[in-house]
Chain A
């Protein structure tokens, strides 16, 4: 399974470190989140000399800028609404603060530096904001559809519940960037959609729905909590997707057979009645 996260230039880290790095790398934008605090490295020599010579104001400005850049990295790593935009603003504030207090560039110079840092961060995080906005839009759309469906009494409560749970699994799969989890969840969406169209098939699929949904929820919860995916997980998720697809095929086949029988019975009856 593709493990979203930082791509490391060295082969392996101790397990705990590796887990921490992978956890940090899960969400959208986190691949580039560590670049933000790193961008303040050029402030380090000035900060060291300010520390040695006891220039508190300059040191304060530089450390403050580094702290704000670190906070920007955290905002981005945590993800959420407009995190890329918020991180860019924080980077602008960090550069402006350092330019104003430590470099004493005055307000115009500080504003120029703030703008450069803001624009640089926006470019550096190009695509992160768009993906987050698209994810938000998709979630909002799913929530609207679910709310409309919840008001519709013709859909059995079990299927409404299944749709809501699948929407949550989708959200987790998207934020984890786990294509297999998403594929399994979307195969289940298709099963639920078929069952909504033919609720009389629900009793036969009830047990399957329960087992699959519980399994997917547990996998999504474990991965979201930062667990390292066990080696068998990709196979399991593929099996779950295949099982969902197979169930749909079976349900379709049953419908086809039903229609086939009806056609034969009707033809026979028409012949008997002398109309054909």
Chain B
């Protein structure tokens, strides 16, 4: 007699802390915000050159 098939465990629904998500958002914003700002300045400088 074989043993019953073990039920595959249902992975828990991820529950990241809002602090982690906020930190991620800040880093993303820092990366793209800085890049966008510098790019904006460069483009403006290019317009008036």
Per the CB 8 Å criterion, the residue count for chain A at the interface is 69
CB pair B8 A138 closer than 8 Å: yes
Which residues of A come within 8 Å of B, CB atoms? Answer: 28, 32, 35, 39-46, 49-50, 53, 55, 58, 61-62, 65, 91, 95, 98-99, 102-105, 113-114, 116-117, 119-128, 130-131, 134-135, 138-139, 141-142, 145-146, 149, 152, 154-155, 163, 167, 170, 174, 177, 182, 186, 189-190, 192-194, 196-197
**Chain B residues, Cβ within 8 Å of A119:** 24, 27
Determine whether the beta carbon of A43 is less than 8 Å from that of B36. yes
B contacts, CB < 8 Å to A: 1-2, 4-17, 20-21, 23-40, 42-44, 46-47
Q: How far is the CB of A199 from chain B (nearest CB, A)?
A: 9
Kindly provide the distance from the CB of B38 to the nearest chain A CB, expressed in whole angstroms.
4
Query: Within the complex, which residue of A49, A124, A149 is in contact with B24, where a contact is CB–CB below 8 Å?
Result: A124
Pair B36/A192 contact, Cβ less than 8 Å: no
Q: How far is the CA of A84 from the CA of B24 in the complex (A)?
A: 13
Q: Are A152's CB and B2's CB within 8 A?
A: yes
Name the 10 nearest CB pairs between A and B, nearest first.
Answer: A127-B14, A120-B27, A123-B24, A193-B4, A124-B24, A42-B36, A134-B11, A120-B28, A116-B31, A46-B39
Whole-angstrom CA separation of A163 from B6 in the bound complex: 10
Q: Is there an interface contact between A138 and B10, defined as CB atoms closer than 8 Å?
A: yes
Report the bound CA distance from A177 to B5 in whole Å: 22
Given A116-B27, A120-B31, A126-B16: A45 in contact with B36 (beta carbons within 8 A) = yes
Query: In angstroms, how far is the closest chain A Cβ from the Cβ of B29?
Result: 7
**Chain A, residue nearest B25 (CB):** A124
